[in-house]
Every structure is written in C-alpha cells, then in structure tokens.
Amino acid sequence: MAQYYMLHKPRGLLTAKRDARRETVMSCFPEALRETLHPVGRLDKDTEGFLLITNDGPLNHFLLAPGRHVEKTYYAKAEGTLFPEAEKRFLEGLDIGDDKPTLPAKLEILKQEGNEVELLLTLREGRFHQVKRMVEAAGAEVTYLKRISFGGLPLDGTLEKGGYRPLTEEEVQFLKTQAGMKEG
C-alpha cells in the first residue's frame, strides 16, 4: 500500500535513504517505516522545510521528471543587495554558470533593508544549489533557506522541525494531478 508523508526537514540532516557517515532524513521516521520509504528529490543539508517521503515509485518518478517542472517555493534570507529589476530578470531566467540559463522563476522581494533581504522564490526545476546560485547571481548570499511548498502543497505550519504527518487523500490526488499522472 502506498504511503505519503510530509516531513518538516530540519537543517543538518542529509536528504538520503541512508549514509554511512551522516544522519539522514530517514532518522525522523520509526525503524519500521525506514526500509520502504524514500525522499522525493533533495534538500541541501543546511536547508529546512517540506520534503515529501513516499514508497510510491511512479509518483516519485513523475514529480522529479525534468519535463514535469513541478513548482517548489522557498523562503530565504540573504545578505547583500539584489540588482535592480531582479524580479523581472528571474522571470526571464538567469545565467548561474550552467550550460543554459534557468527556467523562468518567480522572485518576490519581501523586505530589503540595508544589507538584509527576505524573499520568496518559486522554481520549476531543481538544479544543484539552484536557489543559492540564483540569489548569488542577483547580488546577495543566502544565509537561511526553507522550502515552504512542494508541487503547490504548503508545508503544514503545525509540524515541528523533524516532525511528519501522512498526506490526506486530497493532498495525494493534488500531487498526482500536478505530476501529470493519469488515474487508473
């Protein structure tokens, strides 16, 4: 039977099923669940927030397939000053040193006071350290990063760091719709 969990990943845990040297996100779950569940995608060790954990291989595949472009929204704090028209440039895609620019992303600057910036960033791809690299390309350095939604589902605000809960049937169906999975 398929199982789906929303985990509020704390900073410091590796997003992996297991690791010989470092503690992983699976340590948040009871031993009985660890063998069958897998994290969907990755969050950097120093990033916290929404991480989907499931044993549904097809959903995992659909959500992570490069052509699906499932949205992920992050809240970030950064030091520096974002260049003028940053929001417009993020919508056009940015050069972050890869073979091609990023896909268009939505940047919302929540606060810019002196050298301190707070922002929301919604991406539709998941390149290595992408949020940090995009913010750096715009003139600032991320000091705190939290994924606040995945595939349009918001992180449950009642979950403590390291806490998890099963997804509701409605949430599972919503994710399957976002992934482009057909019923059947």
Per DSSP, what are the bridge partners of residue 4?
A: 54
> pLDDT band at residue 184, thresholds of 50, 70 and 90?
very low
pLDDT of residue 182: 62
Residue 4, pLDDT score:
97
- Average the pLDDT over 102-119 and give the result: 95
How many residues in total does the chain contain? Answer: 184
Which residue among the candidates 44, 46, 56, 98 is catalytic per the annotation? Answer: 44
pTM to 2 decimal places: 0.93
Mean pLDDT on 129-142: 95
Pairing of the two strands 116-123 and 72-80: antiparallel
Q: How confident is the model at residue 49 (pLDDT cuts 50, 70, 90)?
A: very high
From CA 93, how far away is CA 104, in angstroms rounded? 4
Question: Among residues of the chain, what percentage have pLDDT more than 90?
Answer: 80
- Residue 44 in contact with residue 14, Cβ under 8 Å? no
Of all residues in the chain, what percent are helix, strand and coil, respectively (each to 5)?
25, 30, 45
DSSP string, 98-166: SSSPPPP-EEEEEEEETTEEEEEEEESS--TTHHHHHHHHTTEEEEEEEEEEETTEEPPTTPPTT-EEE
- The pLDDT of residue 166 is 98
Q: Look at residue 83 in the predicted model and tell me its pLDDT.
A: 87
Residue 98 designated active-site: no
Using the predicted structure, report yes or no on whether residue 67 has a pLDDT greater than 70. yes
Q: What is the pLDDT of residue 183?
A: 56
**pLDDT confidence of residue 128:** 87
